[in-house]
Chain A
């Protein structure tokens, strides 16, 4: 019993790394994704093209490869980041690309008539986006954003290749040392608990934004 408690404590440490990557990535990639979506929709061709290229690279290569690139290849050109920063950079750039496409689709799903109505009422472009378009976009994008967010919880386990002690790596280390499979069970329960909370949270958000 005491042994189980020790394992639990060790894994709690690992969970901390997992949660840190999760929250910081989400916090950075959501606004960056929105910015990229607006850039993608920009009438300036050059901006739209650059963002399109960025999204293609990020969605077209494995996240694992991007992690390795930031961690091992960037130092070769003189950019050396601490472990956690390297992981966060790769995760943020990757998830922002996916969010950008979700937001772009959401923005385009709002009927043209909404822009026209706002315009004929004298509203400026920033006012129209902030007050009229984005609130409707949030409702449209909540389900796909919820999907990506749950994916992110599980993708955090990829940092094991950077030798970071996240939840799954801690579990594996204990399993290999003690020949006891319980840590895997614990890990599964931890991940499920996190996704349970997220699912519940997004359900609340959808109810809030779905009232009309």
Chain B
């Protein structure tokens, strides 16, 4: 995928440290993502990749380091302690991120369309008439126009995940975070979700994707990071990364995956 690497920096994570009690899960991670880039994070389970992703939108807090989204600090380290932005500022910073979960996490008591309308109406205070056209446009984009009035339980896993993507997009985020979006799906359903994600990437949406789908990382990502034991072992552009990995750990991992 073409990667200019000159765009505005959308996400910058510096020296991220995090521990649960005595277990260090992130040991000083640095990441930089520019506008329109797709960063794929791969690695064995327990490597800290999901935790790292969840730190970006504060589903997890960090112990040390800094996170800046579009040049605004979500968290900074002062005198050795991580200090988060104040409530209002924090909400504003986080509003530029959207997230897609492994387990979809759609609201089961709302229809597909209501799932999309909920946050724009409640959080942004928009009228239904102001959001619904865009919501329907997004549903069309993920190929689910005819499912607007269904409840999530009436959809397949792949359809639910596409709704979840549309729901996140309906808040017009600048960065989309994907936490193993296809890991809970049957193999025959992963394709439709990956297709939607590829289309997003092609439209230059900035994305950070934690995934086990090597083919997706190879084709759609502009940057690949391999993590193990809370460290970044290797990173690079997908061509070089997959064709000629340098580290032994990376080679062993890719051998197992492919």
Q: Give A residues with C-beta under 8 Å from B.
A: 111, 113-114, 116-117, 119-123, 127, 131-132, 135-136, 139, 209, 211-212
Give the residues in chain B near A116, CB-CB below 8 Å. 59, 99, 101, 105
In the bound complex, residues from chain A placing their C-beta under 8 Å from that of B168 are 120-121
B122 at the interface (CB under 8 A from A): yes
| B153 contacts across to A, CB distance below 8 A | 212
Let me know if B99 and A120 touch, CB within 8 A: yes
- In the complex, the chain B residue whose C-beta lies closest to that of A122 is B123
**A122-B171 in contact given A127-B122, A136-B108, A136-B109 (Cβ < 8 Å):** yes
Is B57 close to A, CB under 8 A? Answer: yes
Q: Are A113 and B101 in contact (CB under 8 A)?
A: yes
Contacting residue for A135 out of B98, B103, B105, B109, CB 8 A:
B109
Partner of B59 from A120, A132, A135 at Cβ < 8 Å: A120
Report the minimal beta-carbon distance from B173 to chain A, rounded to whole angstroms: 9
Expressed in whole angstroms, the minimum distance between the Cβ of A28 and any Cβ of chain B is: 27
Interchain CA distance A211-B110 in the complex, whole Å? 10
Chain A nearest Cβ from B53, distance in angstroms: 11
Give the top 5 A-B pairs by smallest Cβ distance, nearest first. A121-B119, A117-B105, A113-B105, A120-B99, A212-B151
Per the bound structure, the CA–CA distance linking A87 and B118 in Å amounts to 43
Contact between B118 and A212 (Cβ–Cβ < 8 Å)? no
Answer whether A121 and B109 are a contact pair too, CB < 8 Å, given A113-B103, A116-B59, A212-B151: no
Contact A139 B109 (CB under 8 A): yes
Asked if A117 and B101 make an inter-chain contact with CB atoms under 8 angstroms apart, the answer reads: yes
Closest to B58 in A: A119
Contact of B123 with A120 in the complex, beta carbons under 8 Å: no
